């Protein structure tokens, strides 16, 4: 939380300086230098905004790793039934159907192969081929 307070204080200080600069500019608005001065303030604001965005991103805590799904017998049975119904036992199908990562889908299919629920099952057209 202290880092957020430091960032807040830094931004407050910088914006106060910019406000003072803008007030001074109100006196020179008839001069030819006004557009250049205004562009300078706008550039400083963009720089300050970018700095704040990056600092805030750095201060956010890292997301915890997603829990790895345990491959249970119930999951294997459900995957087998879903695969038969869809006529597809591909890694991509398992990932989409169970919302799991690639590695977990590979382990799930390997478990199905190891348990001899499927053997080289693949989809060829509309026909489920087992080898």
The runs of H, that is alpha helices, within 26-90 are 34-59, 73-86
CA distance readout (Å), 18 to 11, 24, 26, 70: 10, 10, 13, 56
DSSP for 15-36, please give it.
Answer: HHHHHHHHHHHGGGTTSTTHHH
pLDDT recorded at residue 47? 87
Place of tokens 């963009």: 46
122-124 and 127-129 strand pairing: antiparallel
CB 120 within 8 A of CB 130: yes
Domain ranges of the chain: 2-59, 73-129
- Options 1.10.10, 3.40.50, 1.10.287, 1.10.3470; CATH for 73-129 is 1.10.10
CB atoms within 10 A of CB 109: 20
Whole-structure pTM value:
0.44
Q: What are phi and psi of 128, to 5 degrees?
A: -80, 120
Residues of the chain below pLDDT 70: 1, 29-30, 61-68, 120-131
Burial of 54 (0-12, 13-18, 19+ CB in 10 A): exposed
pLDDT recorded at residue 40? 85
pLDDT recorded at residue 125? 44
């Amino acid at each position: 939380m202290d880092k957020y307070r430091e960032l807040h204080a830094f931004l407050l200080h910088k914006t106060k300086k910019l406000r003072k600069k803008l007030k001074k500019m109100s006196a020179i608005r008839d001069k030819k230098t006004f557009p250049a001065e205004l562009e300078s303030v706008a550039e400083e604001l963009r720089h300050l905004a970018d700095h704040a965005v990056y600092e805030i991103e750095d201060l956010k805590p890292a997301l915890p790793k997603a829990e790895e799904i345990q491959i249970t017998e119930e999951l294997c049975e459900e995957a087998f039934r879903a695969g038969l119904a869809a006529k597809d036992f591909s890694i991509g199908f398992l990932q989409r159907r169970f919302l799991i990562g690639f590695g977990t889908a590979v382990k799930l299919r390997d478990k199905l192969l190891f348990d001899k629920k499927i053997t080289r099952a693949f989809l060829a057209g509309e026909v489920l081929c087992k080898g």
